């Protein structure tokens, strides 16, 4: 907890107080939003805070030392500043949330109580619940590499080294319609089955322009159209005529890296690690123990 300014401490020591909570959200794209549980707009730390429609506080759990503190806030998606499309697009991932105690009668008397990082966001029936994690939660994150069979690089990044713009590994699509939880589009015909599964889809026009999604499935339809399903992606705001670019997908397996992308030398996994069966087996007269590689 930060040290409260003397004026606010004097106010809290009085017989009657007039305080409320304000939350200031600082997104990684530079956007700053303010909310308060007071019934009128307030300005805290130079940020205009919108009343009532933003956040409502839940319980706060605090730990000693470097223990992770957790909190939760909830609210309705009624604020124009908070849209389900922005949440779906990941614009709030990793954002910081400052909790302020403010004297609403004298907003200049304000002190920051906590600073959190947004964790899991759950949405249900037009409302959201946001998990807030203390900055010490970063110490619980896994760091460095792990011995896994599958690749831990992202397709096209510096460690992968594959050029996703190479001919045949991307396509430009145009939305025809949205129906039955899928996007009907043109521009994806002629690619092999599963070619774009796990691939990155970037919206280049329309309400979702500048946001990304991951392809779950692509199914050919008559007339050169394709039905595209997206992982955990709300289709609200997507309309006929919207354009997108999609890149070939990678399931992180060594065989896919070698055969689909001819990039086996840059594979960043450990496909030759023996599995449990190989580790626990023993020599007998029936097994094939020829000393060959587990992954040809």
Is the predicted pLDDT of residue 132 greater than 90, yes or no?
no
N-to-C CA span, the chain: 57
Residue 229 C-alpha from the chain's centroid? 18
Query: Which tokens sit at 279?
Result: 């580790």
Q: How far is 24 from 48, CA to CA, in rounded Å?
A: 9
212 or 3: whose pLDDT is higher?
A: 212
b/e sequence 44-77, b meaning 16+ C-beta within 10 Å: bbebebbbbbbbbeeebeeeeeeeebbbbbebeb
Percent of the chain having pLDDT more than 70? Answer: 76
Question: Which has the minimum average pLDDT: 151-160, 234-243, 244-253?
Answer: 234-243
For strands 212-220 and 200-203, give the pairing: antiparallel
Comparing 84 with 246, the larger pLDDT belongs to: 246
Q: Name 61's Cβ contacts closer than 8 Å, sequence gap at least 6.
A: 69, 70, 71
Residue 133 confidence (pLDDT) above 80: no
pLDDT at residue 38 greater than cutoff 50:
yes
Residue owning tokens 């609210």: 75
Angle at CA 285, nearest 5°, toward 279 and 289?
Answer: 45
pLDDT at 78: 47
Q: What's the pLDDT score for residue 292?
A: 65
pLDDT at 64: 40
- Cα 121 to the chain's mean position, in Å? 9
Asked if pLDDT for residue 72 goes beyond 80, the answer is: no
List of residues 6+ apart from 150 with CB closer than 8 A: 251, 252, 253, 254, 269
The neighbour count for residue 240, using CB atoms within 10 Å, is 12
Domains of the chain, CATH where assigned: 6-138 (2.30.110), 170-247 (2.40.30.20)
Q: Residue 231's pLDDT is what? A: 86
* More confident of the two residues 43 and 193: 43
Nearest to 55 by CA among 4, 92, 108, 110: 92
């Amino acid at each position: 907890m930060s040290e409260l300014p003397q004026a606010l401490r004097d106010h809290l020591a009085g017989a009657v107080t007039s305080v409320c909570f304000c939350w200031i959200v600082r997104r990684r794209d530079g956007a700053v939003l303010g909310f308060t549980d007071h019934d009128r707009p307030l300005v805290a730390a130079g940020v205009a805070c919108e009343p009532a429609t933003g956040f409502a506080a839940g319980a706060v759990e605090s730990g000693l030392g470097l223990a992770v503190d957790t909190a939760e806030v909830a609210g309705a998606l009624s604020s124009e500043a908070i849209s389900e499309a922005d949440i779906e697009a990941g614009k709030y991932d990793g954002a910081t949330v400052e909790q302020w105690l403010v004297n609403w009668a004298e907003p200049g008397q304000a002190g920051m109580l906590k600073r959190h990082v947004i964790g899991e966001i759950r949405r249900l029936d037009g409302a959201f619940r946001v998990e807030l994690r203390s900055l010490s939660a970063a110490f619980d994150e896994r760091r460095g590499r792990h011995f896994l069979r599958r690749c831990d690089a992202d397709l096209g990044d510096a460690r992968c080294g594959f050029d996703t713009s190479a001919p045949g590994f991307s396509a430009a699509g145009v939305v025809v319609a949205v129906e039955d939880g899928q996007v009907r589009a043109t521009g994806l015909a002629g690619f092999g089955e599963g070619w774009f599964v796990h691939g990155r889809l970037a919206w280049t026009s329309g309400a979702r322009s500048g946001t990304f999604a991951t392809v779950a499935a692509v199914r050919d339809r008559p007339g050169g159209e394709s039905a595209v399903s997206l992982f955990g992606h709300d289709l609200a705001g997507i309309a006929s005529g919207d354009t997108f670019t999609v890149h070939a997908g990678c399931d992180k397996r060594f065989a896919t890296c070698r055969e689909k992308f001819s990039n086996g030398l840059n594979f960043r996994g450990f496909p030759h690690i023996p599995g449990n069966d190989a580790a626990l087996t023993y020599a007998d007269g029936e097994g094939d123990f020829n000393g060959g590689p587990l992954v040809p």
